[in-house]
Amino acid sequence: MKYVHLITNGIWYRNPTLVIGIGMCPTLAVTTSVSNALWMTLATTFVLVCSNALVSVVKNITPGHIRIPIFITIIAAFVIIVELSIKAFQPAVDKALGIFIPLIVVNCIILGRAEEFAQKNSIIDSIFDGIGMGMGIGVTLTLLAFIREILGANNLLGYTLIPGMEPSLVMIMAPGAFFTLGFLLWGMNVIKSRSKR
């Protein structure tokens, strides 16, 4: 029950992008296509789960005043592992996501979870928290990308939707990301306030 709660917490109650409002930069940048969003989710979740687990392991030997450099070292190591593996085995993904994979190091969701959760809780809890938060990012990114790809590129996972239709370019550019994110936030808050009543 506790683990289920940790997962739903990440997806809904404390969704990192929509509720806590962190990690916006990659969220807005990579959601131009659903496949990009899914790969970014996979990469971020892997780093998040691994770094949460390791931070939780070393929490007792970490002196408080140097915890940040230690967390960053751990996170950076996992990010480089992801980056090199993607470069070697998925060159197409490397081309599409490019700079955003190495930038996971400074994604505040990961450092935020290390600081807020993993350094105070057991390994198993931290791993579940990582999975939950990862799924939260995944749901948000995929939804954003789904809307933006359909409207902005008339395309979904490599297939043209309506042949010959000119898509609205603004949705694929930065403003489109903000519009869509705004609507998602609005939708989420409507559902939340309804369920409270």
Partner 1 sequence: MYRTIIKPTLILVTIAFIASFALSHINRITKGKIEERVRRSREQALLAVLPATLGYVITEKDKKVTVDGKDFFYTIAEKTEGDKKSRAYAFECEKSGYSGVIRSMAAVDETMKLIGISVIQQSETPGLGARAKEIATTDTFISHFFGSSKGKVAAGPVRSWFEEQFTGLDGSKQIGIMKKGEWRAENESLRKELMEKNSVSAITGATITTRAVIAGLENGIVQLRKVLEQEKPAPAQEVKAK
Both tokens assigned to 170: 């603004």
3-state secondary structure of 156: strand
Per-residue mark of binding to partner 1, 75-114 (x: CB under 8 A) = -xx--xx--xx-xxx-x---xx-xx---------------
Q: How far is CA 47 from CA 16, 36, 127, 130, in A?
A: 15, 17, 11, 9
Cα distance between the two ends of the chain? 25
Rounded least distance, CB 176 to partner 1, Å: 11
Output 7 or 156, the one with its CB closest to partner 1.
156
Footprint on residues 10-49 left by partner 1 (CB under 8 A):
32-33, 36
What span, in angstroms and rounded, lies between the C-alpha atoms of 99 and 107?
A: 13
Output 60 or 195, the one with its CB closest to partner 1.
60
Rounded least distance, CB 133 to partner 1, Å: 22
Rounded least distance, CB 103 to partner 1, Å: 12
Binding-site member from 25, 160, 178, 186 for partner 1 (CB under 8 A)? 160
- Would you give the DSSP letter of residue 118? I
Helix (H) or strand (E) holding 3: helix 2-8
Piece of 113-121, 125-133, 169-177, 178-186 that binds partner 1 (CB under 8 A): 169-177
DSSP alpha helices (H): ranges in 31-162? Answer: 34-58, 67-89, 91-97, 108-113, 123-153
* Beta partners for residue 156, in sequence order: 159
Sites of contact with partner 1 (CB under 8 A): 32-33, 36, 58, 61-63, 65-66, 69-70, 73-74, 76-77, 80-81, 84-85, 87-89, 91, 95-96, 98-99, 152-153, 155-156, 158-163, 167, 169, 172-173
